[in-house]
Amino acid sequence: MKKVAKLSFFYSMLGLFFGAFYREFTKINGFTGKTVLSGVHPHILVLGAIFFLIVLLLEKSFELSKNKNFNKFFITYNIGLLLSFIMMAIRGCIEVLKLEISTVIDSSISGMAGLGHIIMTIAYILFFIILLNRINVADNNKIK
């Protein structure tokens, strides 16, 4: 449980950092338009900090980490989330700086972001399989 709480704290700090980064980076560069960079802060807070607070509550209730696949979920989700938000940050910085990038680099950034989303989707499926398994275990223990 401590590992999940620490990770939620980490994502909280990271989300707050990127909120401040977005504000200052756009101000320094005189950018006033729309950018993907504005979405990094809420994505990290919701998909990182708040999600892992929910996982913490479910861990307390259903002992999710007792499932043999919990570490697979944990690692997979974090890889997917970090990859997704890093690609969002890169895309946003390119927009703010108004950099001209080749279609290959543009496609690569989109592809990596898509890969991050696919990895997170796999992790979500694994998470719900684990959750449903642990709920069944808890229900069976009540019957006995």
Q: Residue ranges of the chain with pLDDT lower than 50? A: none
How high is the pLDDT of residue 36?
96
Average pLDDT, the chain: 96
Per-residue pLDDT of 82-112, as tens digits, reads 999 999 999 999 999 999 999 999 999 999 9
How high is the pLDDT of residue 144?
59
**Integer Cα distance of 44 and 14 in angstroms:** 7
Nearest CA-CA partner of 52 in 72, 69, 73, 68: 73
* Claim: this prediction has a pTM higher than 0.75: yes
Residue 97 burial (CB count, 10 A): 11
